């Protein structure tokens, strides 16, 4: 299925206070939204079906703290599709993004948090914040959202979905975020989603997490099915130098479920690093 970038989606960029930039990882072109400023770069890596613009409200909340830069991960948004979508591929892309930035902090949500962990063990970073990383993997049970559910939402988007239809799946989200998802989800590659979902169940987060150096913070939703109470305990035990912070009244989509608390706790985690 062909990726679709809608005209009304591209028009959304006019309302985003960021500059589009591009970097290369070999022949693959990666699109970034750079919010500018002279502060510490804060690179944000989104989740499995989240093009960069869907993290705009998160980036805006960090503008006074540093220089937010949001990545369109390969196969999403305006970035190229890739030949493969392993955790190593994603980490390689992130390293290419970081090469042009001075002493960055890196933040990731969901898939992005796994990517941040894999990146942090490959080069020194000023610090990292991992937000509700999938802890599924071999012998750990399936990822709680099925691939069929993801692909069903993608099919709706390619057909031409609406914010009202998105709201059936994500009723708690702010209306603007429902609208952005409706317009931008079709920019995601079906292969990228399928291969990443497979990676959630075949690549173990705990293979890299114990080696993620301090300072690092793991934020997770109190009601998340992705970071369970047992998963949080294992994360604390296997990387005791990390700080674990629970976000109240939030599931896996913490910034969308409880924006005020999630953004406040993210800023608190980032403040010592910036």
pTM strictly above 0.95: yes
How far, CA to CA in Å, does 161 sit from each of 67, 149, 166? 33, 15, 7
Homologous superfamily (CATH) of 11-138+202-273 is Alpha/Beta hydrolase fold, catalytic domain (3.40.50.1820)
The bridge status of strand 67-71 relative to strand 28-34 is antiparallel
pLDDT in tens for each of the 274 residues of the chain?
579 999 999 999 999 999 999 999 999 999 999 999 989 999 999 999 999 999 999 999 999 999 999 999 999 999 999 999 999 999 999 999 999 899 999 999 999 999 999 999 999 999 999 999 999 989 988 999 999 999 999 999 999 999 999 999 899 999 999 999 999 999 999 999 999 999 999 999 999 999 999 999 999 999 999 999 999 999 999 999 999 999 999 999 999 999 999 999 999 999 999 9
Asked whether 209 and 35 are in contact (CB, 8 A), the reply is no
Q: Classify residue 67 by its DSSP letter.
A: E
Polymer length in residues for the chain: 274
CA-atom Rg of the chain in angstroms: 17
What residue ranges do the domains of the chain occupy? 11-138+202-273
Instruction: Report how far residue 23's alpha carbon sits from residue 101's, in angstroms, rounded to the nearest whole number.
Output: 11
The bridge status of strand 28-34 relative to strand 19-25 is antiparallel
């Amino acid at each position: 299925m062909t990726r679709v970038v809608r005209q009304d989606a591209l028009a959304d960029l006019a309302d985003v206070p960021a500059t589009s930039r591009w970097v290369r990882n070999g022949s693959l072109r990666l699109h970034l939204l750079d919010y500018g400023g002279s502060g510490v770069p804060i690179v944000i890596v989104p989740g499995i079906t989240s093009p960069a613009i869907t993290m705009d409200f998160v980036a805006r909340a960090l503008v006074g703290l540093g220089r937010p830069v949001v990545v369109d991960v390969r196969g999403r948004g305006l970035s190229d599709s890739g030949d493969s979508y392993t955790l190593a591929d994603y980490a390689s892309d992130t390293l290419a993004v970081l090469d042009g930035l001075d002493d960055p902090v890196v933040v990731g949500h969901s898939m992005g948090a796994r990517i941040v962990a894999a990146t942090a063990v490959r080069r020194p970073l000023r610090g990292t914040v991992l937000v509700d990383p999938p802890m599924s993997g071999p012998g750990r049970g399936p990822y709680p959202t099925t691939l069929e559910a993801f692909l069903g939402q993608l099919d709706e988007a390619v057909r031409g979905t609406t914010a009202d239809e998105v709201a059936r799946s994500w009723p708690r989200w702010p209306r603007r975020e429902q609208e952005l998802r409706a317009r931008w989800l079709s920019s995601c590659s079906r292969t990228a989603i399928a291969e990443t979902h497979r990676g959630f169940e075949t690549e173990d987060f705990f293979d890299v997490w114990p080696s993620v150096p301090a300072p690092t913070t793991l934020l997770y939703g109190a009601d998340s099915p992705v970071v369970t109470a047992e998963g949080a305990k294992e994360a604390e035990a296997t990387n005791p130098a990390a700080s674990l912070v629970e976000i109240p009244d939030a599931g896996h989509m913490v910034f969308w479920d409880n924006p005020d608390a999630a953004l406040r706790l993210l800023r608190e985690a980032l403040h010592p690093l910036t």
